[in-house]
């Protein structure tokens, strides 16, 4: 198997549910991630990185709401671009520091990336993407009276949800390919990309694209040898969070599709990851992996994680 991998890193790897979102905390988490990426580079892998922004974009949106009487609030697409910029900056700084420590040298570049969506996507009528902090049920009920859509997020607490339309195409695909050709470690399509709608003009639209689905499109566009989704669990489980919970190791597309039909994977968390992995494996004949950041090298060697193979 070739060694060009697209890695989709969960927003939780950058800011965990119980952590305060200080700049320092997020930088430290990103630095730890970059140490894993350096290990991959040393092992001969070529990496294109995309990342989530659920916690960050939700926090930025909250800041807009809180300060709305003194500063004009920015819409959600602009908040998405802010999250791409700040997370990309932290990756560029941390990655350069890690490379220097390891006596390695490489250009690290973040590209502000727009991703096309359909303005008639049914997702606009049914918000599913959890963003921002976690709330108690009482707090969530209070926020619902203000017009927020809220859901319970995988047993971890309540969160605001926003529409998450399907990614159709990456606007900056050519620039990404040029940067990769020039041996850059590229960070692109952060937070699933900034959602834009193409009519006579290109317009931003208020939503948060799922970074796993956008990452899968990106991985196919750049013809990656494998697509790796890194999150905070070591495996995909069936009967998750129940006494019957069971981890999934190597599994074929047909087998996991059956489990999807049985309803094992929730919208807004494991559902889109499994969907993205299936799409990649089916379309390319290459494996897609869902694993934890700490086991990324083992996962690429198929020794850990959930490995979805075409057959």
Ligand X SMILES: Nc1ncnc2c1ncn2[C@@H]1O[C@H](COP(=O)(O)OP(=O)(O)O)[C@@H](O)[C@H]1O
Ligand Y SMILES: NC(=O)OP(=O)(O)O
Q: Does 91 bind ligand X (CB under 6 A)?
A: no
One of 26, 29, 50, 53 touching ligand Y (CB under 6 A): 53
Q: Where are the beta strands (DSSP E) in 100-193?
A: 108-111, 114-116, 129-135, 150-152, 158-162, 169-170, 185-188
Nearer residue to ligand X within complex by CB, 208 or 233? 233
Name which position in 5, 6, 7, 10 contacts ligand Y (CB under 6 A).
Answer: 10
167 is an interface residue for ligand Y by CB under 6 A: no
Among ligand X, ligand Y, none, what does residue 237 contact (CB within 5–8 Å per kind)? ligand X
> Contact at 8 Å (CB) between 40 and 300?
yes
| Residue 240 lies near ligand X (rule: CB under 6 A) | yes
Nearest to 142 by CA among 160, 163, 164: 160
Residue 237 engages ligand X in binding (rule: CB under 6 A): yes
Question: Contacting ligand X (CB under 6 A), which of 160, 217, 264, 279?
Answer: 264
- Cα distances from 203 to residues 51, 103, 126, 141, 164, in angstroms, run 23, 43, 21, 33, 16
Catalytic residue among 129, 191, 215, 268: 129
Residues 146 to 175 in contact with ligand X, rule: CB under 6 A: 154
Pick the stretch among 6-14, 82-90, 138-146, 201-209 that binds ligand X (CB under 6 A).
6-14
Of 87 and 99, nearer to ligand Y (C-beta) is 87
Query: Residues 24, 8: contact at Cβ < 8 Å?
Result: no
223 is catalytic: no
The option from ligand X, ligand Y, none interacting with 92 (CB < 5 to 8 A, set by class) reads: none
Place of tokens 């499994």: 274
**Which residues have C-beta within 8 Å of that of residue 64, sequence separation ≥ 6?**
71, 73, 74, 79
Query: Count of residues for the chain?
Result: 311
Residues 183-222 that bind ligand Y (CB under 6 A): 191-192, 208, 210-211
Respond yes or no: is residue 211 known to be catalytic.
Answer: yes
Bridge-based pairing of strands 185-188 and 46-51 is: parallel
Residues 97-136 that bind ligand X (CB under 6 A): none
Q: Single out the residue of 5, 7, 10, 197 in contact with ligand X (rule: CB under 6 A).
A: 10
Residue 58 interacting with ligand Y (CB under 6 A): no
**279 in catalytic set:** no
192 makes contact, choosing from ligand X, ligand Y, none, with CB < 5 to 8 Å by partner type, with ligand Y
Smallest gap from residue 210 Cβ to ligand X (A): 8
The footprint of ligand X on this chain (CB under 6 A) covers a number of residues equal to 18
With H, G, I as helix, E, B as strand and everything else as coil, classify residue 238: strand
Q: Decide if residue 121 touches ligand Y (CB under 6 A).
A: no
> Cα separations (Å) of 290 from 75, 223, 242, 304?
32, 18, 20, 9
Give the torsion sign (CA, 34, 81, 152, 268). negative
The closest alpha carbon to 10, from 60, 50, 48, 46, belongs to 50
Kindly name the residue from 53, 88, 211, 217 that is annotated as catalytic. Answer: 211
Q: Are 60 and 26 in contact (CB under 8 A)?
A: no
Catalytic (active site) residue 68? no
The secondary element (H helix, E strand) that includes residue 25 is helix 23-42
Residues that bind ligand Y (CB under 6 A): 10-11, 52-54, 191-192, 208, 210-211
Query: Which positions are annotated as active-site residues?
Result: 11-12, 129, 211, 273
Residues that bind ligand X (CB under 6 A): 10-13, 52, 54, 154, 231-233, 236-237, 240, 264-266, 269-270
């Amino acid at each position: 198997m070739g060694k060009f991998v697209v890695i989709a890193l969960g927003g939780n790897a950058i800011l965990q549910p119980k952590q305060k979102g200080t700049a320092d905390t997020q930088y430290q988490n990103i630095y730890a991630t970059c140490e894993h990426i350096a290990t991959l580079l040393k092992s001969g892998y070529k990496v294109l990185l995309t990342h989530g922004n659920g916690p960050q974009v939700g926090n930025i949106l909250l800041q807009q709401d809180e300060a709305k009487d003194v500063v004009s609030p920015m819409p959600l697409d602009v908040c998405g671009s802010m999250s791409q910029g700040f997370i990309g900056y932290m990756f560029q700084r941390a990655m350069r520091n890690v490379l220097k420590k390891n006596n390695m040298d490489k250009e690290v570049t973040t590209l502000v990336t727009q991703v096309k969506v359909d303005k008639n996507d049914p997702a606009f009528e049914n918000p599913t993407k959890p963003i921002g902090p976690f709330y108690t049920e009482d707090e969530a009920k209070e926020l619902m009276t203000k017009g927020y859509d809220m859901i319970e997020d995988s047993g971890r607490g309540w969160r605001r949800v926003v529409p998450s339309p399907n990614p159709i195409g990456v606007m900056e695909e050519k620039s990404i390919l040029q940067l990769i050709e020039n041996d850059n470690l590229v960070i692109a399509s952060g937070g699933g990309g900034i959602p834009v709608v193409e009519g006579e003009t290109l317009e931003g639209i208020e939503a948060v694209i799922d970074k796993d689905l956008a990452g899968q499109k990106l991985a196919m566009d750049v013809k990656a040898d494998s697509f790796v989704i890194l999150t905070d669990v070591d495996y995909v489980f069936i009967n998750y969070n129940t006494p019957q919970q069971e981890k999934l190791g190597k599994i074929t597309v047909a087998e996991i599709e059956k489990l999807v039909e049985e309803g094992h994977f929730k919208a807004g968390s494991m559902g889109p990851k499994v969907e993205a992995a299936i799409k990649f494996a089916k379309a390319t004949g290459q494996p897609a992996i869902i694993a934890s950041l700490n086991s990324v090298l083992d996962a690429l060697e198929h020794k850990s994680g959930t490995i979805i193979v075409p057959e």
